[in-house]
Structure 1
């Protein structure tokens, strides 16, 4: 998150477990509240139990290290089937690893990668170099729609994620595969499988995602 000021910018990186919560100024900070942004009557507190997040000040965003070598914004027009197809050429890595690579595409986390690949009927372990142009069309569309759906429903509250007011996100109820190992696929009733790709839990339907 970036907060813009006339003479610089505050950059907040939430990491794995960071969150922001909105309270009155007299609120007693919680155990893992590490920063307070105080306004006239209310404050925004930065809470991070695992301390993987960070807060920075930068005068120039273009040269700031967190914004160097970042990939395409998936909801922008620049992220399209042609761009994705070009990324996949000659890459031996799995398609799931590729779409989660922040230097290529930003903001596609583990949950949304699994859900997008299910919607586009692509097996997560499939080598990126073997992805067809038609599959790129489906996958780009799926990524955009999954992210839009997640934003609309407030995200996926699995462990740490919370809204600014402390409430949970409701995209979890829309999960087709993520976190559903052993349950029936919503499309074909095949049992959802779980594998590990690059150290991350990955969920898919072996029938729908051939």
Structure 2
């Protein structure tokens, strides 16, 4: 069990970063609530990725705030607004990139919420506009992890713990029992 901090959440019912960055973000309502409700197989209640079949294994994104702080320092700019990265769960003290292909549970006091770490949450060209020039390239490999919601529960801002079951030490999602994408013909 690893003690961490949940720094914040980003929940939005629509995509703000669509189209060309030169046109600017779409004006969409985005909230930074003090808690979120995660539903198994669905995602975060009220979020743009929740309930969409295409995002079933990537409905929740987790990002380490330290990655944003490091990128800001490398680029020589003031700290970024973490909400601008548009990741669902913002953490401190968690090696997020190590969670790819692993099941893990986050517990902020209301019981554990099980997530299945999947593919990287790749940064997009929008990061150069909304964070700072060069942020897109600087965030590659550390922009977070897309996760499947494997259980239902509530997460809150503040102190939390993360548990990664020892039995899932294999980073290959196929062998670790995690959901993974398969191409099927229809």
TM-score range, shorter chain: under 0.3
Higher share in strand: 2
Q: Could you tell me the TM-score, scaled by structure 2's length? A: 0.24
Using the size of structure 1 for normalisation, the TM-score is 0.22
